[in-house]
Amino acid sequence: MRLLRPLLGLLPALMLLAGCATLDHDPALQIGLSSAQDVQSRYGAPVRRWANEDGGETLEYSSQPFGRTCYLVRLDRSGRLLGVEETLNEASRFSTIRPGMSPEQVSRRLGRERSRVFFANSGEEVWDWNVTPDQGGYLLRFNVHFKAGQVLRTSQSLVDPERFPLLDR
């Protein structure tokens, strides 16, 4: 018992870590074996479902407008797991959003946006996503600027949480 006592003290921490599995690192979900039902029983209903050209489906699990993640779960035509991608990481944001893309293409790539704002003077509609900041102490937003129904450019915005205390908390 004396040897077990220190291990028992670690049990709550280990249970907490086990509860931190995310869709892209969940050992219970296995490519080729897990089904759409397995995913939904663990993570609930997706915020959106997309039909794919190959007959499969993509389930979208976005934490916007307050969170910083979006997981796209790709399923084959029989509903088996093909893969999971976290779309709001830096590589996905910058490398895949290009001028000329349609709003649907952007939405299918990054998931549901946090907000949409139209700027009459420039004629741009700007969508934004909360993302993990690379500047300590500030919140970071990734912005996609549309004009005439196509991506014009992308940008980033730093938000001072002291000035906007209710955001992203």
Which one has a higher pLDDT value, 158 or 1?
Answer: 158
**What pLDDT, on a 0 to 100 scale, did the predictor assign at position 126?**
98
CB proximity list for 59: less than 8 A, separation 6 or greater: 36, 39, 40, 46, 48, 49, 50, 72, 73, 75
Parallel, antiparallel or unpaired: strands 139-147 and 124-131: antiparallel
Q: Which two tokens stand for residue 163?
A: 């000035």
Kindly list the distances between the CA atom of residue 27 and the CA atoms of 17, 86, 98, 117, in Å, as whole numbers in the listed order. 13, 16, 34, 39
In the chain, which segments carry CATH 3.30.1450.10?
23-86, 90-159
Which one has a higher pLDDT value, 9 or 109?
Answer: 109
Separation between Cα atoms, residue 57 and residue 99, nearest integer Å: 26
**What pLDDT, on a 0 to 100 scale, did the predictor assign at position 168?**
47
CATH topology of domain 23-86: Beta-lactamase Inhibitory Protein; Chain:B, domain 1 (3.30.1450)
| Separation of CA 11 from chain center | 30
pLDDT digits (tens, 9 = 90+) for 37-64: 999 999 999 999 999 999 999 999 999 9
pLDDT digits (tens, 9 = 90+) for 70-88: 999 999 999 999 999 999 9
CATH topology of domain 90-159: Beta-lactamase Inhibitory Protein; Chain:B, domain 1 (3.30.1450)
**What pLDDT, on a 0 to 100 scale, did the predictor assign at position 8?**
37
- Which candidate, 105, 67, 114, 65, places its Cα nearest to that of 86? 67
**Residue percentage of the chain with pLDDT more than 90:** 63
Would the pLDDT of 123 be above 80?
yes
Other beta carbons within 10 angstroms of residue 62's beta carbon come to: 21
Binned at pLDDT 50, 70 and 90, residue 135 comes out as low
